[in-house]
Every structure is written in C-alpha cells, then in structure tokens.
Amino acid sequence: MTRIVEVTLSSSAGKLDRLPEETLPEVAFAGRSNVGKSSLLNALCQRTGLFKVSQTPGRTRTIVHALARLDDGRRLYVVDLPGYGYAQVAKGAKRAWSELLDSYLRHRTALKACVVLVDIRRGPQDEEWQLLEFLAEQNKQAVLVATKADKVPKSQRKILLDKIVKETGRRVIATSAQTRDGMDDLLKFVASLAVHPAALTGEKGPASPF
C-alpha cells in the first residue's frame, strides 16, 4: 500500500498569481464550508494541524498547496480550498472567495482531479451537482467523498451511502477524519495522480547505485 512519507506546505494564496508554478499534478479538496476538507487532508497526510481546522465555517480562506511525497518517490500537490455555501460570511468576502475558487478551477492546468466532499448526512446539494458537472466539462477527474461517517451509526451509514451512490450514479468513498475510515481508498485515488519528478522533464531518473 502506497504511503505519503512527507508533506510540506508550499503556499497559502489569496490570488491565482501567488500559486506555485505548475510543475506537478495537483488534486484539490472542494466542498461547502465546514464539510471537513482540511480535516480530511490532515488525516490523509497523517499530520494533525498542518491544514487549519475550525468549528466555525469559513476557516480556510486561501488556496493552500502542500507538496506530498510518496514512499516510491512520486510527488503531487494536495490542495485545500476555501469552502463555499456558508451564509454567514460577509457578501464581499464571499464574492472574493468564490471568484478565487472559480478561476482556480477554471484556469489551473495542473489541476488534474477534485475530491468533492459532501456530509454523509446531507448528500449532494445544488452546488455539488454544479461542481461535478463543471469538472466533467473541464475534463477533470472527480471523486465523491461522504464525510463525517463517524457521526452516524454503522447501520445508518450504509443506507445513507447507498442513497448518495444511487442519486449520483458514482462511486462514493465514506470517510471519517476521526476513525480514518475510507482513508486507504482515498489515498489510492490521490496516489494514482502522483508522478516521478523525472517523468515531467523526460529526463531519466537518478542513476541506479548498483
């Protein structure tokens, strides 16, 4: 099983021109405020507190890039996005975030895939349908994740999950940042996007020591 062996924060950008150069593929975590994007990224990277988490929606206000290295040397950026859909945020700030989000999703060539998070108790709403459609139009991969699975009893979990699967016709990974449920499946998806740095330049990898 692939593992992430190192994660380093690269940038926290409020503007597209502050993002890292597009040298590696990236996978972004998208979903409404408070759905658990930053928590899931911490769980995935096995790093508490690397991505900032809060009970108050609207915690992540910038696009946060972290460089992840896998045990086989492949790399990619994992990206924490500001949440959308939170009513209590001031209008001006809300507009700025959604413009940032929109232009990132629209123009970032290095963005190969999105992990789209929905609360397992809530399922996809208008925004998620729009996002999934938008990603399909842009030829970006999308994987749907149902978060906070620990908040419902096991018997309920399957019913809720089946409902989302049926509604969307997609594969859905049920996750919990607390119990780490679903983390292996999510890691498999994320790892599938990583590349050897040498693959990018067409250079040969480092010479074998043997």
Ligand X SMILES: Nc1nc2c(ncn2[C@@H]2O[C@H](COP(=O)(O)OP(=O)(O)OP(=O)(O)O)[C@@H](O)[C@H]2O)c(=O)[nH]1
Residues near Mg ion (CB under 5 A): 37-38, 59-60
Q: Where along the sequence are the contacts to ligand X (CB under 6 A)?
A: 31, 33-39, 53-55, 57-60, 82-83, 147-148, 150-151, 176-178
Which of Mg ion, ligand X, none lies near 27, with the C-beta cut-off 5 to 8 A by kind? Answer: none
CA 174, CA 158: separation in Å to the nearest integer? 9
Q: CB of residue 165 vs ligand X: minimum separation in angstroms?
A: 19
Q: Taking CB within 5 to 8 Å according to partner kind, which of ligand X, Mg ion, none is near residue 33? A: ligand X
In order of 59, 94, 128, 162, 195, the CA distances from 37 in angstroms are 10, 18, 14, 22, 23
State which residue, 63 or 172, has the beta carbon closest to Mg ion: 63
Q: Which is nearer to ligand X, 19 or 60 (CB)?
A: 60
Decide whether 37 or 148 has the Cβ nearer to Mg ion: 37
* Calculated CA dihedral for residues 145, 150, 151, 155, nearest 10 degrees: 90
Which does residue 101 touch among Mg ion, ligand X, none (CB within 5 to 8 A, set by kind)?
none
Token representation of residue 55: 């009970």
Cβ count within 10 A of residue 182: 21
In angstroms, give the least distance from the CB of 50 to Mg ion: 11
CB of 196 to ligand X, least distance (A): 30
Who's near 12: CB < 8 A, 6+ residues apart? Answer: 62, 63, 64, 65
Q: Which does 28 bind (CB under 5 to 8 A by kind): Mg ion, ligand X, none?
A: none
User: Closer CB to ligand X, residue 185 or residue 196?
Assistant: 185
Which structure tokens are listed for 201?
């330049």
Alpha helical stretches, state H, the chain: 37-45, 91-107, 126-137, 154-168, 183-191, 197-201
Q: Which does 54 bind (CB under 5 to 8 A by kind): ligand X, Mg ion, none?
A: ligand X
Q: How far is the CB of 5 from ligand X (least distance, A)?
A: 23
Q: Which residues of 128-142 are buried (b: 16+ CB within 10 A; e: fewer)?
A: beebbeebeeeebeb
* Residue 120 C-beta: closest distance to Mg ion, Å: 18
